[in-house]
Amino acid sequence: MSTIIKLLPNQVPQVWETIKLAAVRSQEVSPSNLPQVCERLLHGLLSDTVQCLVTLDEDRTILQVCLTQVQVNRITGLRELVIMGLYSFRLMQEEDIVASKNLFLGLARSQQCSQIICGSRNPRLWNIYEQLGFREASRNYVYVMEGDN
Protein backbone atom coordinates (compact mmCIF):
# COMPACT_ATOMS: atom_id res chain seq x y z
CA MET A 1 0.00 0.00 0.00
CA SER A 2 1.40 3.38 -0.98
CA THR A 3 1.04 6.66 0.91
CA ILE A 4 0.92 10.19 -0.50
CA ILE A 5 2.37 13.01 1.59
CA LYS A 6 2.94 16.73 1.06
CA LEU A 7 6.50 17.62 1.89
CA LEU A 8 7.07 20.51 4.25
CA PRO A 9 9.64 23.08 3.12
CA ASN A 10 12.16 21.83 5.71
CA GLN A 11 11.90 18.27 4.28
CA VAL A 12 12.76 19.35 0.71
CA PRO A 13 16.58 19.39 1.14
CA GLN A 14 16.52 15.74 2.29
CA VAL A 15 15.08 14.58 -1.05
CA TRP A 16 16.09 17.48 -3.32
CA GLU A 17 18.02 15.27 -5.78
CA THR A 18 14.96 13.05 -6.31
CA ILE A 19 12.65 16.05 -6.70
CA LYS A 20 15.08 17.68 -9.14
CA LEU A 21 15.35 14.51 -11.23
CA ALA A 22 11.56 14.16 -11.38
CA ALA A 23 11.07 17.83 -12.26
CA VAL A 24 13.70 17.84 -14.99
CA ARG A 25 12.32 14.67 -16.55
CA SER A 26 8.64 15.59 -16.29
CA GLN A 27 9.18 19.09 -17.66
CA GLU A 28 11.79 18.01 -20.22
CA VAL A 29 14.18 20.78 -19.15
CA SER A 30 16.95 21.51 -21.63
CA PRO A 31 20.51 21.38 -20.25
CA SER A 32 20.99 25.09 -20.95
CA ASN A 33 18.00 25.98 -18.72
CA LEU A 34 18.77 23.49 -15.95
CA PRO A 35 20.45 25.89 -13.46
CA GLN A 36 17.69 28.52 -13.66
CA VAL A 37 14.86 25.99 -13.50
CA CYS A 38 16.37 24.21 -10.50
CA GLU A 39 17.09 27.46 -8.67
CA ARG A 40 13.53 28.74 -9.17
CA LEU A 41 12.02 25.38 -8.24
CA LEU A 42 14.08 25.09 -5.06
CA HIS A 43 13.18 28.65 -4.07
CA GLY A 44 9.49 27.90 -4.67
CA LEU A 45 9.61 24.70 -2.65
CA LEU A 46 11.47 26.29 0.27
CA SER A 47 9.09 29.28 0.33
CA ASP A 48 6.06 26.95 -0.01
CA THR A 49 4.82 28.70 -3.16
CA VAL A 50 5.42 25.38 -4.94
CA GLN A 51 4.21 22.19 -3.28
CA CYS A 52 5.77 18.76 -3.61
CA LEU A 53 3.64 15.67 -3.11
CA VAL A 54 5.37 12.32 -2.98
CA THR A 55 4.00 8.81 -3.11
CA LEU A 56 5.89 6.41 -0.87
CA ASP A 57 5.84 2.62 -0.83
CA GLU A 58 5.90 0.47 2.32
CA ASP A 59 9.68 0.92 2.58
CA ARG A 60 9.30 4.73 2.34
CA THR A 61 10.87 4.75 -1.12
CA ILE A 62 9.63 7.57 -3.35
CA LEU A 63 7.55 6.18 -6.21
CA GLN A 64 6.01 9.37 -7.62
CA VAL A 65 6.66 13.08 -7.39
CA CYS A 66 4.04 15.71 -8.14
CA LEU A 67 4.78 19.44 -8.18
CA THR A 68 1.89 21.88 -7.84
CA GLN A 69 1.39 25.61 -7.52
CA VAL A 70 -1.66 27.76 -6.91
CA GLN A 71 -1.91 30.64 -9.37
CA VAL A 72 -4.43 33.35 -10.06
CA ASN A 73 -5.69 33.34 -13.65
CA ARG A 74 -4.68 36.67 -15.25
CA ILE A 75 -7.96 36.99 -17.14
CA THR A 76 -10.61 35.62 -14.78
CA GLY A 77 -8.93 36.33 -11.46
CA LEU A 78 -9.88 32.83 -10.28
CA ARG A 79 -7.50 30.58 -8.36
CA GLU A 80 -6.16 27.54 -10.21
CA LEU A 81 -4.17 24.57 -9.00
CA VAL A 82 -1.44 24.01 -11.59
CA ILE A 83 0.16 20.58 -11.80
CA MET A 84 3.66 21.65 -12.84
CA GLY A 85 5.10 18.18 -13.02
CA LEU A 86 4.05 14.61 -12.41
CA TYR A 87 6.68 11.90 -12.58
CA SER A 88 6.61 8.24 -11.62
CA PHE A 89 9.65 6.05 -11.07
CA ARG A 90 7.48 3.04 -11.91
CA LEU A 91 4.41 2.51 -14.07
CA MET A 92 1.42 4.08 -12.33
CA GLN A 93 -1.23 1.53 -11.47
CA GLU A 94 -4.98 2.19 -11.43
CA GLU A 95 -4.98 2.71 -7.65
CA ASP A 96 -2.17 5.29 -8.01
CA ILE A 97 -4.21 7.20 -10.58
CA VAL A 98 -7.34 7.18 -8.41
CA ALA A 99 -5.33 8.29 -5.36
CA SER A 100 -3.80 11.12 -7.39
CA LYS A 101 -7.23 12.34 -8.49
CA ASN A 102 -8.49 12.38 -4.92
CA LEU A 103 -5.38 14.22 -3.81
CA PHE A 104 -5.65 16.85 -6.57
CA LEU A 105 -9.33 17.44 -5.84
CA GLY A 106 -8.71 17.76 -2.11
CA LEU A 107 -5.77 20.09 -2.59
CA ALA A 108 -7.69 22.28 -5.05
CA ARG A 109 -10.67 22.50 -2.69
CA SER A 110 -8.48 23.33 0.30
CA GLN A 111 -6.87 26.16 -1.69
CA GLN A 112 -10.26 27.49 -2.95
CA CYS A 113 -9.29 26.79 -6.57
CA SER A 114 -11.94 26.85 -9.29
CA GLN A 115 -10.04 24.46 -11.57
CA ILE A 116 -7.00 22.27 -11.93
CA ILE A 117 -4.64 22.93 -14.83
CA CYS A 118 -2.02 20.54 -16.17
CA GLY A 119 -0.03 19.98 -19.30
CA SER A 120 2.61 17.68 -20.68
CA ARG A 121 4.33 16.59 -23.85
CA ASN A 122 4.17 12.99 -22.63
CA PRO A 123 1.41 10.88 -24.24
CA ARG A 124 1.28 8.60 -21.17
CA LEU A 125 0.42 11.60 -19.00
CA TRP A 126 -2.24 12.69 -21.50
CA ASN A 127 -3.89 9.30 -20.96
CA ILE A 128 -3.58 9.55 -17.18
CA TYR A 129 -5.06 13.06 -17.14
CA GLU A 130 -7.95 11.89 -19.34
CA GLN A 131 -8.52 8.94 -16.97
CA LEU A 132 -8.72 11.50 -14.15
CA GLY A 133 -11.51 13.33 -15.98
CA PHE A 134 -9.46 16.21 -17.40
CA ARG A 135 -10.26 17.45 -20.89
CA GLU A 136 -8.08 19.22 -23.41
CA ALA A 137 -8.66 22.96 -23.07
CA SER A 138 -6.06 24.44 -25.40
CA ARG A 139 -2.86 23.80 -27.27
CA ASN A 140 0.40 25.66 -26.88
CA TYR A 141 2.75 26.67 -29.66
CA VAL A 142 6.24 28.07 -29.42
CA TYR A 143 8.55 29.93 -31.75
CA VAL A 144 12.14 29.68 -30.55
CA MET A 145 14.04 32.87 -31.30
CA GLU A 146 17.42 31.23 -31.64
CA GLY A 147 18.50 28.71 -34.28
CA ASP A 148 16.29 27.11 -36.90
CA ASN A 149 12.61 26.56 -36.34
User: Closest Cα partner for 44 from 18, 74, 70?
Assistant: 70
Cα 110 to Cα 75: distance, rounded to the nearest angstrom: 22
pLDDT bin (cut points 50, 70, 90) of residue 149 is: very low
pLDDT bin (cut points 50, 70, 90) of residue 147 is: low
In this structure, are residues 49 and 82 in contact, taking their beta carbons and an 8 Å threshold? Answer: no
Q: Tell me the pTM.
A: 0.87
Cα 133 to Cα 69: distance, rounded to the nearest angstrom: 20
Could you report the per-residue pLDDT of 89-102, keeping only the tens digit for each?
A: 988 888 888 888 88
Q: Which residues make beta-bridge pairs with 5? A: 54
How big is the CA angle at 116 (ends 11 and 31), to the nearest 5 degrees?
60
Q: Average of pLDDT values for 125-140?
A: 85
pLDDT of amino acid 55: 92
In this structure, are residues 53 and 5 in contact, taking their beta carbons and an 8 Å threshold? Answer: yes
Q: Average of pLDDT values for 47-59?
A: 94
Residue 132 in this model has a pLDDT that exceeds 90 = no
pLDDT bin (cut points 50, 70, 90) of residue 123 is: confident
In this structure, are residues 69 and 44 in contact, taking their beta carbons and an 8 Å threshold? Answer: yes
Could you report the per-residue pLDDT of 17-40, keeping only the tens digit for each?
A: 999 999 999 888 889 999 999 999
CA distances from 75 to 71, 72, 118 (A): 12, 9, 18
Cα 38 to Cα 31: distance, rounded to the nearest angstrom: 11
Residue 41 in this model has a pLDDT that exceeds 90 = yes
Cα 29 to Cα 52: distance, rounded to the nearest angstrom: 18
